[in-house]
Amino acid sequence: MTQPVTRFCLVRHGETDWNREYRLQGHTDIPLNHAGLEQASQLAQAFRPDHAFQALYVSDLIRTRQTSAPLQTRLQLNAHYTPQLRERHMGALQGLTYAEAAEQIPDLYRQHQARDPDFDLEGGESLRRFRARILDGLASIAALHPGENVLIVTHGGVLDIIYRAATSKPLEDKRDFPIPNAALNWLDYQDGGWTLRRWADESHLSSALDEIQ
């Protein structure tokens, strides 16, 4: 029997100081900066108070929790916080800027840039494991909400995985699509497959940084 469509709106968290510095956050728990808090407020205003979302799921890191707070008030939804929606664990790269990583651990940095799907960043997550975590997690959410609208607040790496799943873009390919802070990304899920509806809608924002690559 065909599963009813679950309609997702996925949002990357607002800006942090580490985003501004092009520093790899991963699981490091970094709060929003002033611009990020303003983006979170603008994000909430993008939706009517009666917008028909049935559920809100949020990564349990502080930058996503802060981004979701105005949404919870605006939409009168309780958030389900889950570590399954966290950013990719960046292993030895976590806490470094791209420039620092290239200088301090050049061999590891080159492997990261090569996008080997099985390379775990020396204690982090491989792209393949990360993809499995994210796709399994979102499929589980969809199974709980068949035929419903679900709002997700998560991270740039998660959105990268979903875009690739919806467009059949390989993990190994360099990213050629934007992932701005606090933009709206609309996708449908049905019977194990993703369909991209609208991507990187920034019309509600005064400004936003793209995800680092």
- Tell me which of 13, 112, 145, 155 is the catalytic residue: 13
Contacts of 117 (CB under 8 A, 6+ apart): 126, 127, 128, 131, 171, 172
For the question of residue 13 being annotated catalytic, the response is yes
For the question of residue 103 being annotated catalytic, the response is no
> How wide is the angle at C-alpha 102 spanned by C-alphas 96 and 103, nearest 5°?
90
> How wide is the angle at C-alpha 30 spanned by C-alphas 178 and 203, nearest 5°?
35
- Tell me which of 15, 87, 89, 112 is the catalytic residue: 87
Residue type for position 7? R
Q: Are 8 and 207 in contact (CB under 8 A)?
A: no
Could you give the CA distance from residue 36 to residue 81 in angstroms, rounded to a whole number? Answer: 19
- Please give the positions annotated as active site: 13, 87
